[in-house]
Amino acid sequence: MVRMRAADWCLSAAGAALVMATSSDTEHPARNVADGSSDTFWTTTGMFPQEFIIGFPKRVTISKVGIQCYLVRSLRIERSVSKDPVDFKECVEKDLQHTEGQLQMEEFPLPDFQATYLRFIIKSAFDHFVSVHRVMAEGTAEDT
């Protein structure tokens, strides 16, 4: 019998790894998006687009993706099922609402799709810099 377990696959505690980010800040590194805390964050440099890629420890079936961020205007999320972070296909693209003084919290219910990597692309922003506090990918994987 194959057991499935639901989890947030974007957590470093679940085996997720940040494999690439387009900007780096020693005070607010990109790995913060996978630590499960809204108190830590990744901050971008002043140009757009900016992106980061999260790799999963195995192929997972995702039903919902979420993001906690600040000052993001336009976001695209893509997925890959490749062994390496290549051949991405778009999952969702959305313009976010500006929320003065508080985090933007967006959830994207998605038809169950498989992924080994998720790429988050911040296409534009409401300011020169944005912060991404947390990303979530709710789904299941076969226990092996």
**Whether 13 contacts 134, CB under 8 Å:** no
Query: Residue 83 burial (CB < 10 Å; 0-12/13-18/19+)?
Result: exposed
Q: How far is CA 86 from CA 24, 39, 104, 143, in A?
A: 21, 31, 28, 25
Pairing between β-strand 17-21 and β-strand 89-95 as defined by DSSP bridges: unpaired
Q: Given this model, what pLDDT does residue 1 score?
A: 44
Q: Given this model, what pLDDT does residue 45 score?
A: 84
Q: Given this model, what pLDDT does residue 104 score?
A: 96
Mean pLDDT by 10 residues, the chain (144 residues): 67 93 93 94 92 95 95 97 96 94 93 93 95 94 67
Q: Given this model, what pLDDT does residue 5 score?
A: 58
Tokens representing 84 are: 């390496």
Q: Given this model, what pLDDT does residue 84 score?
A: 95
